[in-house]
Amino acid sequence: MKTYQNEHITVSVDCSVHLLQQTWTGLPTSENFRDGSLATMALAKRHQVKRWLIDLRQLRLFNPMDIHWFIRQWLPQANPGLLRQARIAIILNDLNQFSKLGADLILRASTTMNDGLTCRYFIDDNDSRQWVLHNS
């Protein structure tokens, strides 16, 4: 299992099933958000990740400037190859969680750039894991 960590994100990759898991906490600084996002991209490319499990239950929210950077810079670097036919499961405490707004903006931009991307929100860790590992 390959990993990256800073004070606001932990990233691990299970190479046997091409699964990348991110766990976000608190209110990430721009530096931690961008470093974590770039490290995630490097791990995903290196290990040909097709399944993403993103845990936002401990996240307070994303900075709008970081969301803008992610959509304008990270996504174009990731597409089309990195997210082609990918499955992304996002875990929230509840479906009205405030941090969901940032995730919605990112997912809308991601699916616009890549129509093969499949995304779903979950409030249960087991359900999200089963769904993301399911071969469609």
94-106 per-position pLDDT tens digit: 876 666 778 888 8
- pLDDT, the chain, mean: 89
**Does 96 or 73 have the greater pLDDT score?**
73
**Does 111 or 31 have the greater pLDDT score?**
31
Give Dmax (Cα) for the chain: 36
Beta partners for residue 87, in sequence order: 51, 118
3-state secondary structure of 20: strand
3-state secondary structure of 43: helix
DSSP class of residue 98? T
Q: pTM here?
A: 0.90
Residues above pLDDT 70, as percent of the chain? 93
Residues above pLDDT 90, as percent of the chain? 67
> Tell me, what's the pLDDT at 136?
52
Please state, in angstroms and rounded to a whole number, the distance separating the CA atoms of residues 127 and 68.
30
DSSP class of residue 117? -
pLDDT digits (tens, 9 = 90+) for 97-136: 666 778 888 888 888 887 788 999 999 999 999 999 986 5
Please state, in angstroms and rounded to a whole number, the distance separating the CA atoms of residues 45 and 81.
9
Helices (H), 1-136: 30-46, 64-69, 75-78, 100-113, 125-133
Q: Is the pLDDT of residue 83 over 90?
A: no
Give residues with Cβ within 8 angstroms of 128, minimum separation 6: 53, 89, 90, 91, 120, 122
